[in-house]
């Protein structure tokens, strides 16, 4: 039977259960729909990464990737009718937006007499699957990670033999793709499955042995950099887990990603509201928030991270926590202010990991004792970038300072000769304010 494979967060052909199911049934039309409501809101960084990944997928399919521009509710039935398909295959969605969109598409397909088949998810263990002996979802990570490993996952699937179908080009979709690439505000990583697996091979062979020790050092190339590829589905987590010790630290980081997807599955409102409803007081210091966004706070490790975000569309995970703590506990802003800024600029911006990572730092998420954790940006920088190499790379105003002096330019006689800004707040004072506000909540 002829079918449509609707690509979304699964831009690959290997280890793709939905594609395998479609190919087993007969000829397949591979389709990606550029929904203008989503596309226009995504921002130039995210659009460019999607576009580059679609180009890579088109190459992987031998040119057999059909793009359409429009509302999927209208596009899917129309494309299926055009090629005489009886079924639309998908990778099942798990996010609130994805589930709502797919429900609308399913209704349209039902009205058109078409079947929809969902196979697999973007996760090694499907969200909602890991539960306690009482059948309840886990509220904290450690017991979840034990249950996640106990359930386990299948080995990766090979790419199937596919009899691909084609349709005439959609000018609007092709133009949207070309515009997104032309308007990319930064240099993107090489997109696609081959690039992802090449990087993963390097990481496994060269870096994973030191991963537990070096993963928190932003000046060292010691992480996998798989998050952009996982976000877009150029690789599946099973493909990465097959390369590493399932009990090791890297697998634990994959488990964190799946834990946050599980939390969002059970608590969809937590994408943009507090997971734990706390009566905290927040500020809206517009000028200070803008200084944070631009990397002009006067705290070197914070500024380096925010400038890396703008320059690469990515930020080292340790620095994500430091910058998030600064916004929420030094500037006392509500975490969605920062989470939305991150999503606007991250090529790996995943709503579950992003929002719940922010809540973990802000104190409204899955952590039981968040008020004890107020990151000191100075000591964090000295600990994890002791030589100052990361700061010198991203904050050129401090490049002339030697060694660890970059972390405290106010102590060096030449610290401000290149017009680096003075600290916008006193961290010790604002830390105390944050602790007092947590005490007020009575939790």
pLDDT of residue 277: 81
User: By C-alpha distance, which of 128, 11, 108 is closest to 61?
Assistant: 11
Percent of the chain with pLDDT strictly greater than 70:
98
Q: What is the CATH number of the domain that holds 426?
A: 1.10.579.10
Q: What is the CATH number of the domain that holds 196?
A: 1.25.40.80
Mean pLDDT score across all residues of the chain: 96
Among all chains, which residue has been given the structure tokens 């980081």? 253
432 domain residue, yes or no? yes
The answer on 261 and 372 residing in a single domain is no
Task: Provide the domain count of the chain.
Answer: 3
Q: Is 390 helix (H, G, I), strand (E, B) or coil?
A: helix
The answer on 383 and 436 residing in a single domain is yes
Report whether 32 contacts 67 (CB < 8 A): yes
The answer on 137 and 63 residing in a single domain is no
pLDDT category of residue 369 using cuts at 50, 70 and 90: low
The answer on 136 and 48 residing in a single domain is no
The answer on 260 and 340 residing in a single domain is no
**Rounded mean pLDDT, 85-99:** 97
**Rounded mean pLDDT, 323-334:** 97
The answer on 205 and 325 residing in a single domain is no
The answer on 223 and 89 residing in a single domain is no
Q: Is 5 helix (H, G, I), strand (E, B) or coil?
A: strand
- The model's pTM is 0.96
Rounded-to-integer distance, Cα 320 and Cα 58, Å: 33
pLDDT in tens, 146-190: 999 999 999 999 999 999 999 999 999 999 999 999 999 999 999
Q: Residue 442 pLDDT more than 90?
A: no
pLDDT category of residue 373 using cuts at 50, 70 and 90: confident
Q: Residue 25 pLDDT more than 90?
A: yes
pLDDT category of residue 370 using cuts at 50, 70 and 90: low
The CB density around residue 156, as the number of other CB atoms within 10 Å, is 18
The answer on 295 and 433 residing in a single domain is yes
Domain carrying residue 132: 127-153+192-266
The answer on 368 and 310 residing in a single domain is yes
Rounded-to-integer distance, Cα 93 and Cα 245, Å: 28
168 domain residue, yes or no? no
Q: Residue 368 pLDDT more than 90?
A: no
The structure tokens listed for 150 are 């106990």
DSSP-assigned states of every residue in 177-212: HHHHHHT-SSPPPPPSHHHHHHHHHHIIIIIGGGHH
The CA-CA-CA angle for residues 42, 43, 44, to 5°, reads 130
180 domain residue, yes or no? no
Residue 140: partners with Cβ closer than 8 Å, 6 or more residues away: 366, 367, 368
pLDDT of residue 439: 83
pLDDT of residue 280: 82
Among all chains, which residue has been given the structure tokens 């996952």? 153
pLDDT of residue 279: 78
160 domain residue, yes or no? no
159 domain residue, yes or no? no
375 domain residue, yes or no? yes
The answer on 137 and 99 residing in a single domain is no
The answer on 233 and 202 residing in a single domain is yes
Q: What is the CATH number of the domain that holds 105?
A: 3.40.50.620
The answer on 309 and 228 residing in a single domain is no
């Amino acid at each position: 039977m002829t079918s449509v494979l609707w690509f979304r967060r699964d831009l690959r052909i290997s280890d793709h259960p939905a594609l395998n199911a479609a190919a087993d049934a007969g000829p397949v039309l591979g389709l990606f729909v550029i929904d203008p409501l989503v596309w226009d809101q995504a921002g130039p960084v995210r659009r460019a990464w999607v576009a580059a990944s679609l180009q890579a997928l088109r190459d992987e399919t031998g040119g057999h990737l059909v793009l359409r521009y429009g509302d999927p509710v209208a596009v899917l039935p129309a494309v299926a009718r055009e090629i005489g398909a009886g079924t639309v295959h998908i990778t099942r969605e798990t996010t609130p937006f994805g589930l709502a969109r797919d429900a609308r598409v399913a209704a349209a397909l039902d009205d058109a007499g078409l079947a929809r088949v969902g196979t697999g998810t973007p996760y090694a263990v499907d969200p909602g699957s890991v539960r306690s002996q009482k059948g309840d979802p886990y509220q904290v990570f450690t017991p979840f990670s034990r249950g996640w490993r106990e359930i386990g996952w299948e080995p990766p699937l090979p790419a199937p033999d596919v009899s691909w179908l084609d349709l005439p080009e959609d000018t609007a979709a092709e133009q949207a793709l070309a515009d997104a690439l032309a308007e990319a505000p930064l240099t993107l990583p090489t997109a696609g499955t081959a690039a992802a697996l090449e990087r993963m091979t390097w990481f496994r062979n060269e870096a994973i042995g030191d991963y537990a020790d070096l993963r928190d050092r932003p000046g060292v190339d010691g992480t996998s950099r798989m998050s952009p590829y996982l976000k877009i589905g150029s690789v599946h987590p099973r493909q990465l887990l097959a390369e590493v010790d399932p009990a090791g630290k890297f697998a634990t980081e994959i488990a964190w990603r799946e834990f946050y997807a599980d939390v969002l599955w059970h608590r969809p409102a937590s994408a943009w509201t507090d997971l734990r409803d706390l009566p905290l007081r927040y500020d809206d210091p517009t000028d200070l928030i803008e200084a944070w966004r631009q990397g002009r706070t006067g705290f070197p490790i914070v500024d380096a991270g925010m400038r890396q975000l703008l320059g690469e569309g990515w930020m080292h995970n340790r620095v994500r926590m430091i910058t998030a703590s600064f916004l929420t506990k030094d500037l006392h802003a509500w975490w969605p202010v920062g989470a939305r800024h991150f999503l606007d600029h991250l090529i790996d911006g995943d709503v579950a990991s992003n929002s719940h990572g922010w809540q973990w730092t802000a104190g409204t998420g899955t952590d039981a004792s968040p008020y004890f954790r107020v990151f000191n940006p100075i000591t964090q920088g000295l600990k994890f970038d002791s030589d100052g190499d990361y700061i010198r790379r991203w904050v050129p105003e401090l490049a002339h300072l030697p060694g660890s002096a970059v972390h405290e330019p106010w102590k060096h006689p030449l610290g401000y000769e290149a017009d680096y800004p003075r600290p916008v707040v006193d961290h010790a004072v604002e830390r105390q304010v944050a602790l007092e506000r947590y005490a007020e909540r009575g939790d």
